[in-house]
Structure 1
Amino acid sequence: MLKRLVIGRARRSEELGETLLPKRLALPIFASDPLSSVAYATQEILLVLTLGGLAYLHFTPWIAASVVALMTVVVLSYRQVVRAYPSGGGSYEVASTNLGPSAGLVVAASLLVDYVMTVAVSVASGVDNIISAVPALAGYRVLMALGFVALLTAMNLRGVRESGRLFAAPTYLFIGGVLIMVGTGLLRYLLGDAPVAESAKYGITPEEGDADLAGLALLMLVLRAFSSGCTALTGVEAISNGVPAFRKPKPKNAATTMAAMGIVAITMFAGVTTLAIVAKVHIAEDACRLTGLADCEGYTQRTVIAQLAAAVFGGSNSIGFYYIQAATALILILAANTAFNGFPLLSSILAQHRYLPRQLHNRGDRLAFSNGILALAIAAGLLLYGYKANVTSLIHLYILGVFTSFTFSQSGMVRHWNRELRTETDPTLRRRHQLARTINATGALVTGLVLVIVLATKFTQGAWLAVLAGILLWLMMRSIRRHYDHTAAELAVTDARAESMLPSRVQMIVLVSTVHKPTLRALAYARAFRPDHLEALTVAVDRESIAALRKQWDDYEIEVPLKVLESPYREITKPVVEYVRSIRRAGPRDVVAVFIPEYVVGHWWEHLLHNQSALWLKSRLLFTPGVTVTSVPWQLSSAAIADHAAARAPGSVRRGEPPNPPEHAASRDSR
């Protein structure tokens, strides 16, 4: 009942086509991350530059212009990826096809890590904006972040289309709000009434050693600010991974959506940055570095976008301020949805290629990749809890993966176009391919340079953890693929005739502890198979029980011979396993079938009243070659009641229990 309330009714596989997205829903689903990053990308640039006080803020427009140019190149490059590889693998497919499987796995590992970081950073930043509007909530930062992750998980488990409808309105409200804020603020500036941020009156004390930087030190500070500003590019590749989710024609619709995303994201980022310069926003990692504050310890700095909204719309009590804060908080939290769509899709492809567990390729009740969604939620939740949902701490782990995938995919696209040009003879198509190759080559060069900058400026500040996570994930995926390959080779049929030969004999063993209905049913089932040899087997742990069993056997005139195994140390499992193995050694071409009578209980607490000898015995016998294990269930009345309840609420699971085992059987095996 709770499951249906959260995710809705199950959908048939034939309904998959109904979940495909029009462009108006695809934009908020796949592009909410790069669109929302304007809420913190400018802030991250300012936070780095103000390490040296106010002296280096004049670099802000040049850094922002570099980020805009980079985003333009990346968007143009990924439009080529969407058209050339519409199957949905995105950077992973491009790198695997053109650079080899190992390079593809590097991209996949980088993207998976980056998707986890996207959820953590977006949610933490959204919580920051909520706290900017309501500072009293600062003590509930982590709890709110985890709650939002849980909410996003539930919404995505309902399916892509349903989550898109929920996310569309906040995304468009945010876009409209930011454009109105930027337009209003710049219009006021042109009319001579420039908005002034609440922090403009504060100075900033430089960090020790950062006041008079020059030469290489200054260059490194600027490059660090640039790498932080590149968070505006996160999520750009998500559309290339999600092409299969678009309506037909898929490549065209995906390319159009990517172009729209690029135009809107660049416009908003450039506008917010320009407005921050005009309004003289001053922000520092530590509020106590702001000069002029009476009580820096108790002062909560508002985010850049919150300060701009207050400056443009007339203070922190204006309707415009609360509108921008609400829309920003929503879009930042919902921006994690980009990862909730990208991560499951990519992990599904990797599982299909046998690099991740196959369960990640399965669709859930609502035709979403539920296991991937849950895996992402758990990883992001742990990260938020471990870093206390602090954006500044998390941001250093961010964007490394995305630029790795950018660089590899664009390099792969250059090889793709080189291969196409070798065989293409049509002059018009050759010109198109050459232009596309130039775009992708430029993208590879620029993003490769940015990757080096990000590594150089962020590695010691925490990015090494993202690198380590990517390496471990890469090694894990290779190990999983080796396991699946080894299993497939071991199970492959090499000689069908030899593999399908009948066994020399079939020997059946029925395990018994006493004579009752489940035992007699198991004996009847075994006899129905007409085996070459059939015997009942019991273990003697005390003389009285065995004497009683022999008497019952004779009284009921059971025709099946009863074999008793001695067990001076009161073990049950070991004597049975050794006896079965001795039969196998005596007849290597024989098949030994072991029947275990069990009764089925209906309540969870009934399991606590019985030992687990049968379960342990079955698990041991399953590792013995040439041995099959068959459970013969006997359903008690409580199980029938539970079965009736399960019919009305599918999904409940009951477990079989051994039938009336003697109390002494719990001595060693159940400990």
Structure 2
Amino acid sequence: MRYSIMKKALIGKPLKTSELGEQKLSKLKALAILSSDALSSVAYGPEQILIVLSAIGLIAFWYSLPIGIGVLVLLTALILSYRQIIHAYPHGGGAYIVSRSNLGENAGLIAGGSLLVDYILTVAVSVSAGTDALTSAFPELHGHNVIIASLLVVFITVLNLRGVTESASVLAYPVYLFVLALLILSAAGVWQIISGHVPADLHSPIGTAVPGISLFLLLRAFSSGCSALTGVEAVSNAVPNFKEPAAKNAANTLVMMGVLLAMLFSGIMFLAYWLGITPKAEETVVSQIASQVFGRNIMYYFVQGTTALILVLAANTGFSAFPLLAVNLATDKYIPRMFLMRGDRLGYSNGIVTLGIMSILLIIAFGGETEQLIPLYAVGVFIPFTLSQSGMIVRWLREKPPGWTHKLMINLIGALISLTVVIIFFSTKFSQVWPVLIFLPIIIWMFHRVKKHYEATGEQLRMKAGEEALRFKGNVVIVPVAGITKVVEQSLHYAELIGDTVIAVHVAFDRESEKRMEERWEKWKPNIRLVTLHSQYRSLMRPLARFIDLAVEKASEKEHTLTVLIPQFITKKRWQDILHNQSGLRLRVYLLYQKNVIVTTVPYRFKK
């Protein structure tokens, strides 16, 4: 009762299945809940480019502009490509469904496995980055990053358990406030530059010769900047969450997200270059830009506050997409079926809770410093990007619908650029992304093992024509007894109702108690056979197990059923269970995995 009251207080009263339609998202709410990851990456994508270029020095920072343009070209290709995926696969599933349908099972599992892990990284990286933004403004909190980040994940998990529309309603405000804050910051910064309030010597001129610059370094910076594109695929995974017409609304939302992302990324990239911002461990690039443009006034804290909020709430993209991807994988029997179950608020609560727990463990494991995970996080996105675009190419070549050549070119460009980014990642950041070569094969192997189990289960449970179930001629019931009690009496009475033969079994630890039990039994239940087993090593399970194994053999010879009926008393209060040895529970767990044994429990409930 207390648990249900607490649960209702946290996540709200249960919703009827018929109310599922009311949980669908409008474009504005979907933009808030699904674009937070992509938009928030503006806060660290440009910074990642500058961190790589800083190895040469401030003189190399002008390269951030052409690199930024390259990122925007890739963004355009991805938006156009995923827009086609949404219309081609209106039931959602994104890269997993596209890859599996067109490239085969293993390609789909690579895409699905990459995205599952990536959504966990999304939550951990986003929340940790948000915590960093918070501690940049309030340095005295810096020592509590792990605790703050973990509590924030718990908050977002509970928010998502309350339902899609409720979480979207809460998220809409910080997302749009963040967009407003960065647009104001960009406009104010550009205005100061135009009006001459910013010295012209803070940055190196475009085209300045940079000693020591190399193609390897530039490619490394470009791949780092591509981390700003994580989350672009989330809309295609979540098409079923949109109001009708779902595909059209999802496609429009994707375009809106792309336009906003391009504007914010361009503004921060340009201001960082023009203001000569240098990455610092103790302060983010956005914080430095806001500090120079506004000073440490209310507008600075507005920018920092909304940035911290969206970085934290960017994790919600993972919470929106992970459960839906898990549903697709569970439908195809690659992960446990529990991910198909809807919770009280009609969300896929098992997926939400699993994601929350895994993210907290990752934050704790890395001490809240997940910046080193960003390359792994990004490559985990670009592998599915590449596979999904390649899958669409195969689809257009196979089906050749009207206008297919135009569609083919869009996906071909997207596939080539995405593949190039993956190659760049492995070429320039192998020391940071090599774990993907280990965990992806392990995840795919696990997927196949789960699928094999479900197929074997289905084969064994399926009714076949002409096949008859094995029929038994009698039922032998064995009742383990600890003594002469009301619990035992009730269990024996039930055993006589269901069994043709009833045998009571008692394990004694010494000869005196064995003899005493036999004498008392003879007076109490002479009509029921008692077998006493002596255990000189005081083991209860071992002699019982041997006796039951022998009984199974004899029952099989006579084509009899063997049932072990376990007396079990139930305490009135849950905490009282620890005051008893629970030997019945241990015996039941053991017997459940034994062949040709039916296990039955007869409960006896205490009233006080």
Q: Could you say if the C-alpha distance between residues 558 and 196 of structure 1 is closer, same or farther in structure 2, counting changes exceeding 3 Å? A: farther
Does 2:488 match 1:509?
no
Equivalent position to 2:506, from 513, 538, 542: 538
Equivalent position to 2:241, from 239, 242, 245: 245
Equivalent position to 1:614, from 565, 584, 600: 584
In the aligned structure 2, how far is the partner of 1:496 from the partner of 1:599?
43
In the aligned structure 2, how far is the partner of 1:507 from the partner of 1:14?
48
Partner AA of 2:567 in structure 1: P
CA deviation map 1:482-537 (0-9, x unaligned)? 222233333334465422x42122112222232222212112112222x3322322
Q: Could you say if the C-alpha distance between residues 568 and 39 of structure 1 is closer, same or farther in structure 2, counting changes exceeding 3 Å? A: closer
Q: Which residue of 2 aligns with 1:281?
A: 277
Measure how far apart 1:479 and its partner are. Answer: 2.1
Q: Is the 8 A contact 1:185 1:195 kept in 2?
A: no
In the aligned structure 2, how far is the partner of 1:496 from the partner of 1:613?
43
CA deviation map 1:594-644 (0-9, x unaligned)? 212121113344333322322222222223322111111111113xxxxxx
In the aligned structure 2, how far is the partner of 1:572 from the partner of 1:495?
45
Secondary structure of 2:564's counterpart equals strand
Aligned ranges for residues 435-514 of structure 1 at < 5 Å?
Answer: 435-460=406-431, 462-494=432-464, 497-499=467-469, 501-514=470-483
Q: Is the 8 A contact 1:387 1:393 kept in 2?
A: no
Does 2:34 match 1:30?
yes
In the aligned structure 2, how far is the partner of 1:185 from the partner of 1:127?
25
Partner AA of 1:415 in structure 2: V
Measure how far apart 1:161 and its partner are. Answer: 1.3
Measure how far apart 1:96 and its partner are. Answer: 0.4
Measure how far apart 1:305 and its partner are. Answer: 1.2
Q: Could you say if the C-alpha distance between residues 596 and 383 of structure 1 is closer, same or farther in structure 2, counting changes exceeding 3 Å? A: closer
Q: Which residue of 1 aligns with 2:288?
A: 307
Partner AA of 1:401 in structure 2: G
Measure how far apart 1:268 and its partner are. Answer: 1.0
Q: Which residue of 2 aligns with 1:227?
A: 223
In the aligned structure 1, how far is the partner of 2:605 from the partner of 2:546?
30
TM (norm. structure 1) is: 0.85
Measure how far apart 1:328 and its partner are. Answer: 0.6
Q: Which residue of 1 aligns with 2:348?
A: 369
In the aligned structure 1, how far is the partner of 2:78 from the partner of 2:380?
15
Equivalent position to 1:394, from 342, 348, 373: 373
In the aligned structure 2, how far is the partner of 1:479 from the partner of 1:49?
45
In the aligned structure 2, how far is the partner of 1:60 from the partner of 1:627?
71
Q: Which residue of 2 aligns with 1:290?
A: none
Q: Which residue of 2 aligns with 1:269?
A: 265
Q: Which residue of 2 aligns with 1:255?
A: 251
Measure how far apart 1:576 and its partner are. Answer: 2.5
Q: Is the 8 A contact 1:113 1:470 kept in 2?
A: no
Q: Is the 8 A contact 2:65 2:269 kept in 1?
A: yes
CA deviation map 1:305-326 (0-9, x unaligned)? 112222222x11x111111111
CA deviation map 1:285-337 (0-9, x unaligned)? 6xxxxxxxxxxxxxx3x322112222222x11x11111111111101110111
Partner AA of 1:526 in structure 2: A
Measure how far apart 1:93 and its partner are. Answer: 0.2
Does 2:115 match 1:111?
yes
Percent identity (aligned): 40
Secondary structure of 2:54's counterpart equals helix
Q: Could you say if the C-alpha distance between residues 511 and 136 of structure 1 is closer, same or farther in structure 2, counting changes exceeding 3 Å? A: closer
In the aligned structure 1, how far is the partner of 2:78 from the partner of 2:561?
63
Partner AA of 2:355 in structure 1: L
Q: Which residue of 1 aligns with 2:207?
A: none
CA deviation map 1:520-572 (0-9, x unaligned)? 2112112222x332232223433333343334334335522323334444433
In the aligned structure 1, how far is the partner of 2:593 from the partner of 2:293?
72
Does 2:67 match 1:63?
yes
Partner AA of 2:544 in structure 1: V
In the aligned structure 2, how far is the partner of 1:365 from the partner of 1:467?
38
In the aligned structure 2, how far is the partner of 1:35 from the partner of 1:212?
34
Q: Which residue of 2 aligns with 1:600?
A: 570
Does 2:16 match 1:17?
no
Partner AA of 2:292 in structure 1: A
Q: Is the 8 A contact 1:595 1:629 kept in 2?
A: yes
Does 2:419 match 1:419?
no
Q: Which residue of 2 aligns with 1:641?
A: none
Equivalent position to 1:167, from 171, 183, 194: 171
In the aligned structure 2, how far is the partner of 1:52 from the partner of 1:364?
53
RMSD: 2.2
Q: Could you say if the C-alpha distance between residues 549 and 195 of structure 1 is closer, same or farther in structure 2, counting changes exceeding 3 Å? A: farther
In the aligned structure 2, how far is the partner of 1:256 from the partner of 1:201?
38
Gaps of 5+ in 2: 205-209
Q: Which residue of 2 aligns with 1:84?
A: 88
Q: Which residue of 2 aligns with 1:212?
A: 211
Does 2:479 match 1:526?
no
Q: Which residue of 2 aligns with 1:6?
A: 10
Structure 1 runs (4+) greater than 4 angstroms displaced: none
Aligned ranges for residues 658-669 of structure 1 at < 5 Å?
Answer: none
In the aligned structure 1, how far is the partner of 2:386 from the partner of 2:95?
9
Q: Which residue of 2 aligns with 1:633?
A: 603
Q: Could you say if the C-alpha distance between residues 540 and 58 of structure 1 is closer, same or farther in structure 2, counting changes exceeding 3 Å? A: closer
Q: Is the 8 A contact 1:536 1:560 kept in 2?
A: yes
In the aligned structure 2, how far is the partner of 1:156 from the partner of 1:220?
42
Partner AA of 2:492 in structure 1: L
Secondary structure of 2:232's counterpart equals coil
Q: Is the 8 A contact 1:109 1:471 kept in 2?
A: no
Q: Is the 8 A contact 2:99 2:387 kept in 1?
A: yes
Equivalent position to 1:562, from 510, 521, 530: 530
In the aligned structure 1, how far is the partner of 2:274 from the partner of 2:24?
43
Aligned ranges for residues 555-594 of structure 1 at < 5 Å?
Answer: 555-556=523-524, 558-588=526-556, 589-594=559-564
Partner AA of 1:165 in structure 2: S
